[in-house]
């Protein structure tokens, strides 16, 4: 019997307990310090307040104080915190995680900063994937022994929790370990493939949030064109005569995928990953709705990002915007240094400008699809 500890009781961390429990594993769902209300609700009703679905019998919820005890005999740790929680997770797990226990991340995002040795007397700006950021947060003596892997692909938490068919990749560097991890998770509805292209998978599943935010602009642009009132309605206005903006949305989707391909190759990933589950698949599902789309609509209507966040989505985790804020300065520094080609990422830079500098939602058509 396998014991699995899931750290993070949000919707995705909790949803992934379903296939694990269905495969007969014992699952400890440990909430973070921000999950107290969720854990209390689960103790009272067994129904997750976000998913509205009852936990499986093999899943036991615990508060963060129980993490050390639950890790003592764990076979696998699944990390379900958001991208802002990666540093906290490394600090929290560092003193208590046995280094031989593999980690599987469902967290999505990129890390920006200055890394590596100096060139011309200064350190260079660099983007890095979250598994690397997590590893670097552990004590130095543990880093080389840790196995940090990741899940990527089109996976809406509510659908997975409801046992709808879901297809994902598990990525890492050890093909044998990946095969074993896939076996722990694979069910008749949770279909798992493996990939040793960890960089490609992680870049794809991070960038999909930003490009889904861009596609979400279309909702607001359509409303803005379709009505006279300057007020922002709660419910989107209908398109006149059924003329939507699917053409525009498709172009933004395609440009986002092209830019993702460029970034994957620049960071050392494999191009094939962009056109399979982590790239095209995850971008497609993320464009179907959610917080990125809600924020994109507000931006498309003409509201500055800071105002839209404060007025309409206070406290919400808009992952596309979070990514822009996290890596925007690094991307601009890399462009200035000639380490990224500005002509290949015009939509990325536009979204950084919209989010980081409250710029208007202007789409740079003439810059798209550069060779």
Q: Over the stretch 219-246, which tens digit does the pLDDT of each residue have?
A: 999 888 776 455 555 445 555 555 567 8
What pLDDT sits at residue 124?
Answer: 86
48 in Cβ contact with 55 (< 8 Å): yes
Q: Give which of 216, 175, 160 is closest to 18, Cα–Cα.
A: 160
User: Hey, where are the domains in the chain?
Assistant: 3-196, 199-367
What pLDDT sits at residue 371?
Answer: 72
Alpha helices in 11-167 (DSSP H): 11-15, 17-22, 36-45, 67-71, 86-93, 130-137, 140-143, 157-161
- For residue 240, count CB atoms less than 10 angstroms from its CB and return exposed for 0-12, middle for 13-18, buried for 19 or more: exposed
What pLDDT sits at residue 239?
Answer: 52
pLDDT per position as a tens digit, 301-327: 999 999 999 999 998 889 999 999 999
Residue 176 clears pLDDT 60, i.e. is over it: yes
What pLDDT sits at residue 224?
Answer: 84
Cα distances (Å, whole numbers) of residue 238 to 135, 229, 242: 48, 14, 8
What pLDDT sits at residue 126?
Answer: 92
335 in Cβ contact with 342 (< 8 Å): yes
CA–CA distance, 37 with 43 (Å, rounded to integer): 10
Which residues on neighbouring strands pair with residue 25, listed in sequence order? none
Residues 6+ apart with CB under 8 A from 186: 19, 23, 192
Q: How far is CA 168 from the centre of its chain?
A: 13
Which residues on neighbouring strands pair with residue 48, listed in sequence order? none
pLDDT per position as a tens digit, 245-262: 788 999 999 999 999 999
The architecture of the domain spanning 199-367 is: Orthogonal Bundle (1.10)
pTM of structure: 0.91
Mean pLDDT (whole number) for 283-291: 93
What pLDDT sits at residue 236?
Answer: 52
Share above pLDDT 90 across residues of the chain, in percent, rounded to a whole number: 84
CA–CA distance, 16 with 161 (Å, rounded to integer): 7
- Give the pair of three-digit tokens for residue 107: 């967290």
Residue 154 clears pLDDT 50, i.e. is over it: yes
What pLDDT sits at residue 123?
Answer: 76
Angle, CA 137 vertex, CA 136 and CA 143 arms, to 5°: 50
CA–CA distance, 20 with 294 (Å, rounded to integer): 32
pLDDT per position as a tens digit, 39-94: 999 999 999 999 999 999 999 999 999 999 999 999 999 999 988 899 999 999 99
What pLDDT sits at residue 144?
Answer: 92
Angle, helices 246-267/198-226, rounded to nearest 10 degrees: 160
336 in Cβ contact with 124 (< 8 Å): no
Q: Please, which pLDDT band fits residue 119 given cuts at 50, 70 and 90? A: very low
Q: Which CATH superfamily is domain 3-196 in?
A: NAD(P)-binding Rossmann-like Domain (3.40.50.720)
Q: How far is CA 296 from the centre of its chain?
A: 17
- Give the pair of three-digit tokens for residue 47: 């129904």
CA–CA distance, 273 with 288 (Å, rounded to integer): 21
Q: Please, which pLDDT band fits residue 209 given cuts at 50, 70 and 90? A: very high
44 in Cβ contact with 55 (< 8 Å): no
């Amino acid at each position: 019997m396998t014991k699995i500890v899931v750290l993070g009781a949000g919707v995705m961390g909790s949803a992934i307990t379903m296939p694990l429990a269905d495969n007969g594993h014992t699952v400890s769902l440990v909430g973070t310090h921000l999950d107290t209300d969720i854990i209390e609700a689960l103790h009272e009703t067994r129904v997750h307040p976000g998913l509205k679905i009852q936990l499986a019998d093999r899943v036991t919820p615990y508060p963060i104080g129980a993490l050390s005890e639950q890790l003592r005999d764990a076979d696998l740790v699944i990390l379900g915190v958001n991208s802002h929680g990666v540093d906290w997770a490394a600090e929290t797990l560092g003193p208590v995680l046995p280094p031989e226990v593999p980690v599987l991340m469902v967290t999505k995002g990129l890390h920006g900063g200055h890394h590596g040795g100096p060139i011309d007397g200064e350190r260079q700006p660099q983007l890095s994937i979250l598994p690397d950021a997590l590893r670097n947060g552990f004590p130095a003596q543990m880093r080389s022994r840790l196995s940090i892997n990741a899940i990527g692909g089109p996976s809406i938490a509510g659908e997975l929790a409801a046992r709808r068919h879901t297809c994902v990749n598990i990525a890492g560097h050890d093909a044998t370990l990946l095969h074993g991890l896939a076996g722990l998770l694979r069910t008749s509805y949770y279909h798992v493939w493996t990939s040793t292209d960890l960089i490609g998978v992680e870049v794809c599943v991070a960038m999909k949030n930003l490009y889904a935010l861009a596609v979400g602009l279309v909702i607001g642009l359509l409303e803005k064109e379709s009505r006279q009132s300057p007020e922002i309605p709660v419910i989107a206005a209908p398109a006149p005569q059924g003329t939507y903006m699917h053409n525009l949305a498709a172009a933004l989707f395609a440009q986002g995928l092209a830019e993702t391909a460029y970034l994957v190759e620049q960071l050392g990933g494999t191009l094939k990953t962009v056109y399979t589950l982590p790239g095209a698949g995850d971008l497609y599902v993320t464009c179907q709705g959610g917080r990125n789309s809600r924020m994109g609509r507000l931006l498309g209507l003409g509201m500055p990002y800071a105002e839209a966040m404060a007025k309409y989505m206070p406290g919400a985790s808009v992952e596309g915007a979070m990514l822009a804020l996290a890596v925007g300065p690094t991307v601009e520094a890399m462009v200035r240094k000639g380490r990224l080609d500005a002509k290949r990422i015009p939509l990325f830079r536009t979204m950084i400008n919209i989010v980081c500098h409250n710029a208007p939602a202007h789409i740079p058509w003439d810059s798209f699809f550069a060779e």
